[in-house]
Homo-oligomer: A and B are copies of this chain.
Amino acid sequence: MFTPVDKKRAFEAVVQQIESAIYAGEYAPGDFLPPERTLVEDFGVGRSTVREALRILESMGLVRTSPGSRSGPEVCGSVTPGLTRMLRGAVRMEEIPVVDLVQYRIIAGAAANRLAAHLRTDEHLERMEAAIEAMEAATDAATFAAADDGFHVVVREAAGNRVLGMVGGVIQDATLDLVAGAVGPSGGASRMRREFIADHRRILAAIAGHDGDTAARLASQTLYDAYSGALDEEQRHRLAVLLEPDVRNSRDH
């Protein structure tokens, strides 16, 4: 019946006020908050309180501070770096298994490719083609992974779903080092890499042909092939469930 009374710490109240102001649109990305010393007067708190609040907002990716500015902390638009950082931390804390990330990529990737097949413009196709050519031209694993990254960015952009785009980007960033290690172990063994590129060409062809089913299926399969090597049997099963429709209805109960 009783709601727990929130004994707010001062800096939390400051965080909430600034956060609300940003979410309410009073400060657009690129705008500047008042300087710290002004915020001290406005909020009626001490300097350290304001600074701790700003540190929190900065770690959330809402604002950015840089010395020498004449205008105060800058409100920045993208929160994704902070999200990526925290997600990586969650993975490192073993709070989120890697297989969950891969599974999510398969789910979201299939949907994004399906949507992209319906909604893509010719400009998207050109950029996908450019990304594939960058993959072919890559000499080291990092560049290759970055090019692959670029391809999927364009796909998500073509899909036109903001949630899919934002979350997908974060998950992709968090798994970036995985794909680098999985597909291209630096020099040699470029067969897997060529196969990987060929997969992307097939996906591109399906998207170009407005064939959402094929694009989704190929994208899922390619992701599965790229990551399955690093997973054990039970984890692979959890991924394989997503690849093909069930053919057995209420059989294995």
Contact = CB atoms under 8 A, between A and B. Distances in A.
A162 interface: yes
Nearest to A58: B56
Contacts of A208: 253
Interface in A193-217: 208-214
A39 interface: no
Contacts of A92: 23
A214 B249 contact: yes
A199 to B, nearest CB: 19
Interface in A52-90: 52, 55-56, 58-62, 78-80, 82-83, 85-87, 89-90
A23 B60 CA distance: 20
Copies of this chain, tallied across the complex: 2
A218 interface: no
Contacts of A238: 115, 119, 160
Contacts of A62: 89, 93
A210 B250 contact: yes
Contacts of A93: 22-23, 62, 79
B253 A209 contact: yes
Given A60-B86, A211-B250, 9 more contacts: A60-B89, A80-B96, A83-B90, A87-B167, A107-B107, A107-B111, A115-B242, A210-B251, A213-B249
A106 to B, nearest CB: 9
Interface stretch (A97-105, A134-142, A143-151, A225-233): A97-105
Contacts of A246: 211-213
Nearest to A60: B86
A104 B212 contact: no
A101 B91 CA distance: 20
Contact of A86 (B51, B82, B164, B214): B82
B100 A80 contact: no
Nearest to A20: B92
Contact of A111 (B87, B114, B171, B242): B242
